[in-house]
A and B are shown apart, each in its own frame.
Chain A
Amino acid sequence: MKLTTLIFVFSATLGSCMAQQSDVSIKTPDGFTTTTVAANFGRVRHIAMNSNGDLYMKLERLSKGCGIVRLRDTNKDGVMDDTLSFGNYVGTGIAIKNGYLYASNNSSVFRYPLNNSKLGIDTAGVQRIVTGLWDKRQHNSKSIALDNAGNIYVNIGAPSNVCQEQDRQRKSKGRTPCPILDSAGGIWQFKVDKLNQSYADGIRYATGIRNCVGLDWNNEVNELFVTVHGRDELYQSYPEYYDQKSGAELPSETMYMVKKGDDCGWPYVHWDHLQNKKILNPEFGGDRVKTGADNAISPLVGFPGHLAPNALLIYSGNQFPAKYKNGAFIAFHGSWNRSPEPQEGFYVVFVPMKNGKPTGKWEVFANGFAGMETVVNLSAAKHRPCGLAQGADGSLYVSDDSKGYVWKISYKN
């Protein structure tokens, strides 16, 4: 168990450097240390690390009119001492690939050339590569990932809980076929270097995905991996099948490997990790026993319900012990809809993998972000893990969209 050490951070709101101690202690396995590299940047969603050590953060709420902040440790003393803010839009997705920074708002994707100039990036050289994606409020964040063949993958979350005739209305029936799936509830593929692409220019790469906030390209097997938020309100809507406890535990949050053309089964089924089955949703005639969507693929892992897997990172570094190589780190944002049961999540999980397949049970890797044992009301949680990035040296970075912290987790022999 390691305590977060004293760090220097600077605050975007104060705009000045100040020494600050983390207000929580992060527990990790033996040999790992955690330091706070940023604090008080507000709603920091996903993060990306350039090979030169520049850390880019995508904000969900503008700070001084900007939605992207770049942090830099100019004199390499371990303290981020230089900030650059740009991009006048809020959003979630951010990624770096082959000399470009990619960032999304809730309907578009932009890219910026990275360079060796003093700023490290050509913010004026911004290009809009994707536009006009559905932003119908619910599940509108556009997470992104890039492959090695010039493609970008964009999550278009379904603006719906389970494709009912009336969204979230108790006992409102599910719609078959679900019309949302034409434009959302899946992953779309676009070219990285074409401007202003929209639905007609892209490919619906995978479907039946309610809302996938975490996605990453697995370079070991050259496939896309995603973590998906399962549906809400099984207990609230169908107390005849689900009690308070099982409604908190189900449905599973999931991690999939998705290939082109795959269907993960939403809205017709949800994954049930207690039965290891695709269970038909009650809105479509399910009763907690009936299975469905035979055409749909099964996840690699089913986690307890509602933990909200907001970021996925397939670890390719050499710094951590061998067991971590090619495995998956997942940042769980923490639940709200396990209420009235206590909330769960607020930690970073590790899934050991080889050749894209889990080789053991998932484990909690970094914990303590909430700053308390039991979170009853979500508002009490101090921090909520939301983004992950891997440094050039193999360190793992974790961001928080509650108070805008970023932690660096390193392994020392």
Chain B
Amino acid sequence: MKKMIISVILVAGIAAILQSQSTSTSSKARGKEVYARYCLTCHQADGGGVPRMNPPLTQTEYVNGNKQRLIGIVLNGMNIPLEINGDSYENPMASHAFLKDQQIADVLTYVRSSFGNKSTAITAEEVKAVRAKNK
């Protein structure tokens, strides 16, 4: 009996893990499409960016650091003197607040797990919370 309970818990646990993995995998897949449509021209397909103008998304502290700040960049855009690895980037990034919470979560999940980045996923709830505070 005890054994059965353990295995039931185990199966449920594995299912939950699989479930969350598949949501983040499909979130990443959807995020790739959002990226292609709304971010790729400026930040390039490999996330390498454009010297002097648009910064790379490869292993930057903005991408892999504080999630709230990262979500804020997509919601509000960014126009501050920016230096990454000794090079400065001079273009502004417009607000992408027109994207839905889920789209922003997806694209940031994609960015945080691509181009050599290995950071955790971002959820629509997290985006929603930042958007609410923004107002």
Contacts and interface: CB of A to CB of B under 8 A. Distances in A.
Contacts of A166: 94-95
Interface residues of A, number: 27
B109 to A, nearest CB: 21
B36 interface: yes
Contacts of B52: 60
Interface in A156-177: 166-170
B91 A169 contact: no
B65 interface: no
A61 B48 contact: no
Contact of A137 (B49, B90, B94): B90
Contact of A379 (B36, B48, B79): B48
Interface in A314-360: 336-337, 339-340
A43 B93 CA distance: 23
Nearest to B37: A236
Given A236-B41, A340-B36, A378-B50, A169 B95 contact: yes
A336 B50 contact: yes
A138 to B, nearest CB: 5
B44 A336 contact: yes
Contacts of A401: 51
Contact of A377 (B42, B46, B53, B91): B46
Contacts of A137: 79, 81, 90-92
A379 B46 contact: yes
A69 B53 CA distance: 24
A140 B98 contact: no
Contacts of B94: 166-170
A167 B40 contact: no
A170 B44 contact: no
A380 B56 CA distance: 13
Interface residues of B, number: 26
**Would you call the interface of chain B mostly helix, strand, loop, or mixed?**
loop
A402 B51 contact: yes
Given A236-B41, A377-B44, A377-B48, A336 B92 contact: no
Interface string A373-390: 000111110001000000
Given A61-B87, A140-B90, A166-B94, A339 B45 contact: yes
Nearest to A401: B51
A233 interface: yes
A166 to B, nearest CB: 7
A273 B54 CA distance: 27
B75 to A, nearest CB: 13
Nearest to A306: B41
A340 B41 contact: yes
A337 B92 contact: no
Interface in B13-28: none
A167 B50 contact: no
A140 B44 CA distance: 22
Nearest to A60: B52
Interface string B91-109: 1111100100000000000
A139 B46 CA distance: 24
A309 B115 CA distance: 30
Contact of B44 (A43, A236, A379, A402): A379
B90 A337 contact: no
A177 to B, nearest CB: 22
A339 B49 CA distance: 12
A233 B41 contact: yes
B96 to A, nearest CB: 9
Given A61-B86, A402-B51, A340 B45 contact: yes
B98 A378 contact: no
A73 B79 CA distance: 44
B29 to A, nearest CB: 17
A304 B86 CA distance: 32
16 contacts: A43-B87, A138-B53, A168-B94, A169-B95, A170-B94, A170-B98, A232-B41, A336-B53, A339-B44, A340-B36, A340-B45, A377-B45, A377-B48, A379-B44, A380-B48, A401-B51
The 10 closest A-B CB pairs, nearest first, are A379-B48, A377-B46, A336-B50, A137-B90, A168-B94, A169-B94, A339-B41, A377-B44, A138-B91, A377-B48
Given A168-B93, A170-B94, 11 more contacts: A43-B51, A43-B87, A137-B81, A137-B91, A169-B94, A232-B41, A340-B45, A377-B46, A378-B50, A379-B48, A379-B56
